[in-house]
Structure 1
């Protein structure tokens, strides 16, 4: 089981930490060398998230067994190839295709990798290990940030993409070997015990879904532009890559920490608190303070994976046991929000020459998400004290 967990962690590190988010620390060097504008960078980010959205929809249709293993491995190959491929060209159209493919691959690896790893842990009675799986995203972010910080000046942006792709190829071999699905009959039995029916619609579940969409649209502004934001200010220009490493390091324990908060405070309260903390982190770079920039990176990294973890857990509870369906739906709306966020932010920056308005807008969106969660918590509380107590215990 340890090998399966390691394979799952590495899959998330490759899919999310590198395939999706390595763009963030490499972006300033790409802009300096090629003249890539912030509006065009926002478009590339949104195409990546469009791919992720479509991949999330498709991943939910993949059947258990050997087909799921094959699709996961195909996504792994596509992720490695699209990462390395960024270093072979300066053509905007080629970059657009590569970032779109990377998004598709990230969704396939993320959703199927999580599903197969969690199924394997459940079969072995190791559900308590689940929180460790999400550390892979933080490991990938921290590792890619460290690599760019140490080697970026020597290798250039092309070398960054090429060597990260090569590293993903090496570590991805372990995921290829260790993350697999059993034959369809066994997988179907395991899935049946986990609950895979249709989600039961309710007002709290709808509000959670809307809030998750807004979270995707708000957090991704920082997720895309954090390093570029810091590079534009003289006081924080030297902190860009280091701040992204802080983001990754803070993200590593985020899922475990916020899951514990959910058990102590209740899932609704913990989720609202995580949104408020994240909103503060998004806004801090406006101050121009180096200390605030580091705190911003830590707060951002320390919340976004925790929000995913808490939202999935709460969604499973509100869905009446339809865990697979509700996680797929939440992932899709989150991906849709990420498509929406970067383009207007990039256009605002291109027009004003400053990230301040984009950060204020992203902060407002995340706070509106928190308000929707507060409404959902109130509605859930009206359904009876027993439901609230169950939520607090099972978080």
Structure 2
């Protein structure tokens, strides 16, 4: 089971930490060498998240067994190929295709890989290990930031993409070998499990708390991704923080590694609603801190940002499953979809605003505002969840 868990962690590091997020530390060098503007960078980011959205929708249709293993392995190939391919091209059209393919691949690896690893851990009675799987995202972010910091000046932006793709090819081989899906075992229980569950206890999938959580998660996707796309570029534009760009991204990754475990513990202690609201407030502060132009604030910003975005995903999924009353698969699918839409939308206006104003301040204010509005929606959801359900008189008909 240790090998399966390691394979899953590496897969997330390859697809999410590098394939998806290495764009952030490499972006300033790409802009300096090619003249890529903030609006173009925002478009490339949105195309990547569009690919993720499409891939997330398709991943839910992949059957268990050999097909799921084959699709997962195909996604691994597409991820490392699209990462290395960025170094072979220098045009927006080719970059756009590669970022879209990278998004497709990251969705397949994230959704199918996690499912296969969690299934394997469940069969072995190792569910307590589940939280460690998500550390792969932070590991990949930290590793890509370290690589660019150490080698970026020597290799240039093309060499960064090429060598990261090569490293991911070697690391991804472990995931290829260790993460597989056995054929499904037909049984009455399995048949029952395949039947769509009905919400238990009268809980509605259209309940106010669940709708408010979904709206908040959409805003989180739109807000967090602005920093996730431009953090290093933001720091590089200010003389006081220019030397901290890649180092701050490493701090982001290091803070992200334990964040899922930390916020899950906070959810057990404070309650899921309160912990989720607190995570939003902390993240909004992290988004705004780079506006001060202070080096210390930049490092704290990276830590707060990295220490919350995976935790918010963990808490939101947990709360969504709790509110679903037995229809958790549908709720998680809906949350993933709206989060993906938010990620597609967020970078586009941010990039346009930066291109027109020459400053990231308005984009950061907008991103923080989206996250804070999400916190207000969660506060309303918490209040709605505490309200007693209306009692219906026995035998009462329509009024």
| TM superposition score category, shorter chain reference | over 0.9
| Counterpart-to-counterpart distance in 2, 1:209 and 1:184 | 32
CA contact (8 A) 1:123 1:190 kept: no
Q: Does 1:5 align with 2:5?
A: yes
Aligned to 1:44: 44
Give 5+ residue unaligned stretches, structure 1.
385-395
| Counterpart-to-counterpart distance in 1, 2:28 and 2:348 | 17
Aligned to 2:365: 360
Q: Specify the SS of the correspondent of 1:63.
A: coil
| Counterpart-to-counterpart distance in 2, 1:156 and 1:342 | 25
Aligned to 1:246: 251
**1:330 shift after superposition:** 1.1
Aligned to 1:272: 277
Aligned to 1:69: 69
In our comparison, the structure showing a higher alpha carbon Rg is: 2
CA contact (8 A) 1:198 1:325 kept: no
CA contact (8 A) 1:194 1:323 kept: no
Aligned to 2:397: none
| Counterpart-to-counterpart distance in 2, 1:97 and 1:17 | 19
| Counterpart-to-counterpart distance in 1, 2:324 and 2:294 | 44
Structure-2 change in CA distance of 1:35 and 1:192 (3 Å):
farther
| Counterpart-to-counterpart distance in 2, 1:181 and 1:128 | 20
| Counterpart-to-counterpart distance in 2, 1:313 and 1:180 | 25
Please, what TM-score do these two structures have when normalized by structure 1?
0.94
Which segment drifts farther, 343-352 or 113-122?
113-122
Aligned to 2:236: 231
Which segment drifts farther, 283-292 or 173-182?
173-182
| Counterpart-to-counterpart distance in 2, 1:383 and 1:119 | 36
Please, what TM-score do these two structures have when normalized by structure 2?
0.93
| Pairing 1:147-226 to 2, within 5 Å after superposition | 147-185=147-185, 197=197, 200-201=204-205, 202-226=207-231
CA contact (8 A) 1:181 1:187 kept: no
Aligned to 2:393: none
Give 5+ residue unaligned stretches, structure 2.
390-399
Note the alpha carbon deviations across 1:154-193, whole angstroms, 9 max, x for none: 0100010001101111111111111111102269956966
Structure-2 change in CA distance of 1:373 and 1:175 (3 Å):
same
| Counterpart-to-counterpart distance in 1, 2:192 and 2:363 | 44
| Counterpart-to-counterpart distance in 1, 2:330 and 2:381 | 20
CA contact (8 A) 1:39 1:350 kept: yes
Aligned to 2:354: 349
Q: Does 1:311 align with 2:313?
A: no
**1:195 shift after superposition:** 8.8
| Pairing 1:117-136 to 2, within 5 Å after superposition | 117-136=117-136
Note the alpha carbon deviations across 1:317-340, whole angstroms, 9 max, x for none: 111222332222211111110000
Aligned to 1:106: 106
Note the alpha carbon deviations across 1:336-376, whole angstroms, 9 max, x for none: 10000000000000000000000000000000001111111
Structure-2 change in CA distance of 1:238 and 1:195 (3 Å):
farther
**1:307 shift after superposition:** 0.3
Aligned to 2:395: none
**1:152 shift after superposition:** 0.4
Report the aligned-residue RMSD.
Answer: 1.6
Match of 1:294 among 262, 278, 299: 299
**1:102 shift after superposition:** 0.3
